[in-house]
Chain A
Amino acid sequence: NAGVTQTPKFRVLKTGQSMTLLCAQDMNHEYMYWYRQDPGMGLRLIHYSVGEGTTAKGEVPDGYNVSRLKKQNFLLGLESAAPSQTSVYFCASSYRAGGINGYTFGSGTRLTVV
C-alpha cells in the first residue's frame, strides 16, 4: 500500500503565482486533512474534509482553498502565493471521525515562496 502520497515534494513559487498541491490516499479513508508545519509552531490545521464533496476550515485557512471531488484525493490550492506561505505542507487521512486510531501522514511538500 502506498498510504498517503503527496505531490510535488518540493516547489519554489514567485509571489503572486498559484499552484495546487495534490494528496492521494489508497486506504479508503473518509477523513482528510491539510496541515502546515513551521519551525516552533508545530502542526497547524489548514482545511479538512469529512467525506467526498465536503470541506471545512481549520485553524489557519486564509489564503488557501481545497477541494475533495473524489474520496481518495484532497487538493490544496494557493491562488496568489505570499512569502508567509513558505512552509512544509502535510496531508493526512483517517478512517474514523476525529482520527481515533490516529492519522496517516504523507511525507510532505516543501514550498518556498520568493
Chain B
Amino acid sequence: GQQLNQSPQSMFIQEGEDVSMNCTSSSIFNTWLWYKQDPGEGPVLLIALYKAGELTSNGRLTAQFGITRKDSFLNISASIPSDVGIYFCAGLNHGGSQGNLIFGKGTKLSVKP
C-alpha cells in the first residue's frame, strides 16, 4: 500500500530555534495535511494543502505542497515550549480506491526552554 516517509523521527531543539520536517511518498497525492498531537490528546489539524506548489501559513507554522506532489514540508519558526508534541503528515489521493488519509509515522518534537 501507499506509505509516507516522515523525517526526522524526533528532534530536540532549543527554544527560539526554527524547525523543519518533511514527508515524502512514492505516490502522488492531491491533498497534504499536517496535524499536531499534544501529549495525551488526539491529533489536531494544523494546515491543509490542496494544490501543488501551495505555500500556506498558520501563525508561526508554514507548510508547502511539493511541486512533484510527492512531498510536503512543515516549518515552525521561533519555537516555544508549547510546540512540543508529535507532528503528523497525511496525504490523500482522491482517485484512490479507499480515499482514506495515509499518515506518516510522526516527528516527535522536544523543546528545551
Residue numbers of A with Cβ under 8 A of B are 4, 33, 40-43, 45, 48, 58-59, 90, 92, 97-108
Contact = CB atoms under 8 A, between A and B. Distances in A.
B94 interface: yes
Contact of A59 (B1, B33, B92, B96): B1
A43 B100 contact: no
A42 B100 contact: no
A103 B41 CA distance: 14
State the majority secondary structure of interface residues on B: loop
A42 B42 contact: no
Interface of B: 1, 6, 9, 31, 33, 35, 40-45, 48, 50, 88, 92, 94, 96, 98-101, 103-106
Nearest to A91: B42
Contacts of A103: 43, 45, 101
Contact of A43 (B88, B92, B98): B88
A108 B37 CA distance: 11
Of B31, B50, B94, B100, chain A has the most CB atoms within 10 Å of the CB of B100
Nearest to A58: B100
18 contacts: A4-B42, A33-B100, A40-B9, A42-B6, A42-B103, A42-B105, A42-B106, A45-B100, A58-B100, A90-B42, A98-B92, A98-B94, A98-B100, A99-B92, A99-B101, A103-B101, A106-B42, A107-B42
A38 B31 CA distance: 25
A99 B100 contact: yes
